[in-house]
Structure formats: C-alpha cells, structure tokens
Amino acid sequence: MAKFPNELAEIIWNLKRQLLDIVDAATAELTLFELFGETSDTIPFLDELKSVAERAVPWFSRLSNFQLRIAESQPTISADMLNLVNQSIERIQMEIPAMSRSIQEVKTEWNLP
C-alpha cells in the first residue's frame, strides 16, 4: 500500500470534515422550508442551499476516491495521481469559503440558527 505524505493526508481529512460540515449546514434548507414554506421569496434561497450541498458532495466523494486509489497503489503514488490530488485540493480550498458564505448569507437573511 502506498502511503500519503502525512501533511497531504491531514489536508484531505480536514477538507473532508469541512465539506461534511457544509453539507450538514445546507440542511438549513429544511428549516427554512418548515418555517416559511415554499414561496416566491424563499425559493431562490432554498435553491441556493440545495446547490451548495450538491457542489460539496462530489468533492467529498472525489477526495475519498483519491484516498482509496492511493491506498491500493503499489509501491508508491504516481506523479500524475499526486498532481491530480493537489489540483483538486487547490480547487476545493478555493470553493469552501464561497460555499460557507452562501449558507451564512441565507441563514442571516432569514434569521436561521
């Protein structure tokens, strides 16, 4: 089994935790719907929350797939695989703040917990 460099492994676990937090926070969609229903005012916000969760889930899956592929590779991680992992990490690190902001904006707009 090939080993992740420790720093890279920690980055991936951290990003996966953040992505799970985003998916969990996007469940504010249900709270918004339960409190205010589906109206012309809430629909854009409901759609935004759903969109955020839909953007986070594939990134989480991609990181998990990288972990499995690298664990299965022998004896070392290929340069191409490392490059792909690093590119994905950079993209995810850029997207997480935007996803978090979107959720926070909806929560603030509707005074959600």
Q: Could you state, in chain order, the average pLDDT of each consecutive group of 10 residues for the chain (113 residues)? A: 79 98 94 95 96 97 94 84 96 98 96 92
Say what the pTM is.
0.90
Identify the pLDDT of residue 70: 86
Looking at residue 2, its pLDDT comes to: 64
Whether 78 contacts 100, CB under 8 Å: no
Task: Tell me what pLDDT residue 23 has.
Answer: 96
pLDDT of residue 78: 87
Kindly report the number of other CB atoms within 10 A of residue 24's CB atom.
12
Q: What is the pLDDT of residue 71?
A: 84
Q: What is the distance between the alpha carbons of residues 19 and 56, in angstroms, rounded to a whole number?
A: 6
How confident is the model at residue 72, as a pLDDT?
85
